[in-house]
Amino acid sequence: MALVFCRSCGREIDESAVTCPHCGAAQALVFQINPDAIPEGVRGWSWGAFLLTWIWAIGNSTWIGLLALFPPLWFIMAIILGIKGREWAWKNARWDSLEHFNRVQRLWSIWGLVLVLGFILFMILVVVVVPATLFWHWMPQMHSPDGVTV
């Protein structure tokens, strides 16, 4: 049984006292927070964790996500991080509020989508546009001056 000081009169009182037995002043309520409790609004699919896997894991102190660096485990970890990532991020990092957490996770999702779409567009450019450009650039040189194909 620990003793604390009254917020009003300063005398020692039991830490579980709701009011001071000496002056009657109300004491601060102490809420015990369950560290395993996940607030509403945290659970759900995480596109940022799914698309950015190990980068997201480092940014959210979710070290199990580093297993995505091993090629055989990459896709499995991406799915697991997509499903459980938000909960793990909530438990592993310090957040100012639920709104702060959701704002940060939304930014991870946006950046994940931007990078994946950018990569897809780059691959289209490399696979389709560059060969087509080279083909049309070299096409005139494949014909002889009299119009006969060489």
pLDDT tens by residue, the chain, 150 residues: 688 888 788 888 888 888 889 998 888 654 444 656 789 999 999 999 999 999 999 999 999 999 999 999 999 999 999 999 999 999 998 888 999 999 999 999 999 999 999 999 999 998 988 888 877 776 665 555 555 555
Q: Is the distance from CB of 142 to CB of 150 less than 8 angstroms?
A: yes
Nearest to 77 by CA among 68, 87, 89, 88: 68
CA end-to-end span of the chain, whole Å?
Answer: 99
What sign does the dihedral 99-101-107-113 (CA atoms) show?
negative
